[in-house]
Structure 1
Amino acid sequence: MAHGKLGGDLHQQRGTAENFGLDAARYDRTRPRYPDGLVTRVVRECPGRELLNVGAGTGIEARQFQAAGCTVLGVEPDPRMAEFARTHGTETEIARFEEWDAADRRFDGLVSGQAWHWVDPVAGAAKAASVLRPAGRFAAFWNVAEPPAEIREAFRKIYDEVVPDALAARAYRTPAPPSPHTTSESPLLTKTVEGIRRTDGFGEPEQWRFAWRHVYSTDAWLDQLPTQGDHGQFEPGKLERVLTEVGAAIDARGGSFEMRYTAVAVTATRSVL
C-alpha cells in the first residue's frame, strides 16, 4: 500500500513482491479495491473490451473489469497468486511482464493495479506499446492512502522504533501531502510518465484521480497489514510487535479510523500507426 508519497525504483526490489503470495487468500480478502469511477473511465476510453492485466496478483482488478463487461488475461510472476486468480475466474499466465511471450496477441487496453512499480518503467512501456492495438489504452493505477494525522503519527513512531528501515517507516516519515494533487510529484508516478515518454508509440500521458474513503476497524487493518510493502520480510518477533502496537494505537482512538484514498492513474493512448 502506498502512503502519501509514492516511491521509485521498486522494480529493483522484486523480492518484496514475491512475499505477497505467501498468503494469497489474505491478500485478496483484505486489499482495497478500486473505485467504480476509475474502472468505468478506463473501459470507456478503450477501443474494445479485451484487456491485459499486468501484475494481476489474485485478480482483484481483473474481476472488477470483468464485471464491467471486459474479457481479461492476467500476467503474474508469482505462481501462488496466479493460481488464486485462475481459481477465481481470471485466466492468468505466469511470467514477468518484460519477459512474457505475447504470441502475437493484441489488446484494447492494458491495466495494472498497484503493480506497475514492480515493472521496469522503460522496458515495460515499450512492451505495453507492442501488445496494444492502435488507440489502445495503457492505465497503471495505485491507491494512495492517507490516514488521519494522529493515526499517521502513532504509526510513524511504532515503525521508527521497531523497523526503522522498512518501507512503511520511510513512508510515514514523509510529510503528509496537503492534497491528493501532490501525488503528481511522486517518484513512482514520475518514472511511469517518463517511461511512457521515452517509448515510441504513445501519446502524451495523463493522470486521473478518484477520491474515496474506507473505514477500518482494528481487526480489519491488522488483517491487511502483513500484505503491505515489505511486512512479509520482517523478523517474526518484529512483525508481531508491529501488529500488537498498531492494534493498540487504533484501539486507543476508538477502535477504527477512516482512511482517505486517492486512486491515481497514469494513462496514455497507443498511437494510431
Structure 2
Amino acid sequence: MKANTRRDHRLAFDTVAEAYDRARPQVPADMVDSILELTRLTAGEKVLEIGAGTGQLTLPLRRQAGVKVIALEPGKTLRALLEKNTATDAMVTVRGELFEDYDGGDGPFAAVVSGNAFHWVDPRVSYGKAADLLLQNGYLVLLWNVPTVEDQALRVALNTRAFAGHPDFVRGEDPRVELLAADCVEEINASGRYEAPRVEQRRENLSFTPDDYVTLLISYANAAVLSDGERRALVEGVRALLGEHGVDEVKVVNALYAVVARRSEQ
C-alpha cells in the first residue's frame, strides 16, 4: 500500500477509539505463525511496533512469539486502551511518540512491525528510519487487512445506497490485495535498504452482528474524519439498509497481506 498523502488524518482514529477497540479484528494466528517463520523471531527479542492501536497485532505477537514489544501509539485514547489491554504484561512498553519523532533509544530491534498504520508515516522517513533501527539481520514487517461483505446483493446495496456519498467505503467483490502488496514491495525496493520482500496473504471469514458491523465501519479513518452529523447519518443509513434486507448476521471476508523484508547488509 502506497504511503498516504493525507497524513493530517493519522490521529483521527482517536475520535473512534472505543469502536476501534471493540470491532477491529486481531491478526489471525496463522498469519502471525507465517511471519514468525520468515523472521525467525524468538522469545525475548525486541520488536518496535508502529501505530499499535489498541493491540490488534501487539497481543498475538506476545502470545505466539514472547517477544518484547515497544509499542508506539500517538493517539491518547487509543494509547490508554492499549495500556489497559496490556496492563499485566511487563514485556510491553507503550509510548506516545509518532514514529517520525521516536529517538530509537530502546533499540536496536530484531523487527519493526506495523499493522494497518505504516502508510500514515511520512515516506521521507519511513523505510530509511526503520532500517536504521534494525539489527543487522532484522526485519521490517508490514500488515494490512481489507474486510469485504460476502453477500453480493448486500454489498451492492451498501455501495450504491448507504455508501453513495462515501466512496472510500465502497468495496468490490475482490479487494485485489496482491496489487496493494505490490505497491508496498515497490516502495521497499525503491528505498534500497532491504533485501527482496516476501508477501504472505490470507483470507479469513468473520461474522458481525449489525451493531458490531456498524462499529467496525466507524473505526476507519474515512468515518473518523466525518462530522458527528455525517457519521450519524452514515450509521443510520447502514442500519436501515441492514434492516430492509433482514440481516441479523453480516458475513465478511477479511483479506490480509503481510510484506516482510530483511534489512540489507549494505
TM-score of Structure 1 vs Structure 2, range by shorter chain:
0.7 to 0.9
- Alpha-carbon deviations, 1:137-180, whole Å to 9, x = none? 2111111122122222111123454xx2x4xx2341x6432xx6
Which structure 1 segments of 5+ residues have no match?
Answer: 1-5
3-state DSSP class of the match of 2:112?
Answer: strand
Q: Is the 8 A contact 2:199 2:258 kept in 1?
A: yes
What are the Cα deviations for residues 71-109 of structure 1, in whole angstroms up to 9, with x where unaligned? Answer: 111112223222322232231222221231102711111
Alignment length (residue pairs): 255
Counterpart among 150, 154, 171 of residue 157 in structure 2: 154
40 and 122 in structure 1: CA distance in 2 versus 1, 3 angstrom threshold: farther
Q: Which deviates more, 68-77 or 226-235?
A: 226-235
| Structure 1 contact 250–256 (Cα < 8 Å) conserved | no
d(CA) in 2 for partners of 1:50, 1:104: 8
The one-character-per-residue Cα deviations of 1:199-220 (angstroms, maximum 9, x if unpaired) are 2331011211011110111111
- 1:64 correspondence with 2:60: yes
TM-score by length of 2: 0.86
Match of 2:142, SS state, is strand
Greater alpha carbon shift after TM alignment, 133-142 vs 16-25? 16-25
**Deviation string for 1:187-237 (max 9, x for gaps)?**
xx3442232112233101121101111011111112222211221222323
1:268 pairs with one of 252, 257, 261: 261
TM superposition score normalised by structure 1: 0.84
Instruction: Kindly indicate whether the alpha-carbon contact (under 8 Å) linking 1:86 and 1:92 is maintained by their aligned counterparts in 2.
Output: yes
Of 180, 185, 190, which aligns to 2:179? 185
Does the 8 A contact of 2:3 with 2:118 survive in 1? no
Alpha-carbon distance between aligned partners in 1 of 2:200 and 2:156, rounded to the nearest angstrom: 29
Q: State whether residues 139 and 261 of structure 2, in contact with CA within 8 Å, keep that contact through their aligned partners in structure 1.
A: yes
Give me the whole-angstrom Cα distance separating, in 2, the residues matched to 1:9 and 1:54: 14
Which of residues 167, 170, 180 is equivalent to 2:168? 170
In structure 2, the partner of 1:33 is: 26
Indicate the residue corresponding to 1:141 in structure 2: 143
Percent identity at matched positions?
23
CA contact (8 A) 1:122 1:198 kept: no
Q: Is the 8 A contact 2:13 2:224 kept in 1?
A: yes
Structure 1 counterpart of 2:79, which letter? A
- Tell me if structure 1 keeps the 8 A contact 2:34–2:200: no
Q: Which deviations, in whole Å up to 9, do the C-alpha atoms of 1:21-57 show, x marking residues without a partner?
A: 1242331121111111111122233244321111112
SS at match of 1:143: strand
Q: CA RMSD in A?
A: 2.2
Deviation >4 Å, runs of 4+: none
Q: Secondary structure at the match of 2:25?
A: coil
Contact 1:125-1:196 at 8 Å conserved across structures: yes
Pairing of 1:104-253 with structure 2 (within 5 A): 105-147=107-149, 148-161=151-164, 164=165, 166=166, 169-172=167-170, 175-177=172-174, 182-186=176-180, 189-251=181-243, 252-253=245-246
Q: Which letter does structure 1 place at the counterpart of 2:168?
A: R
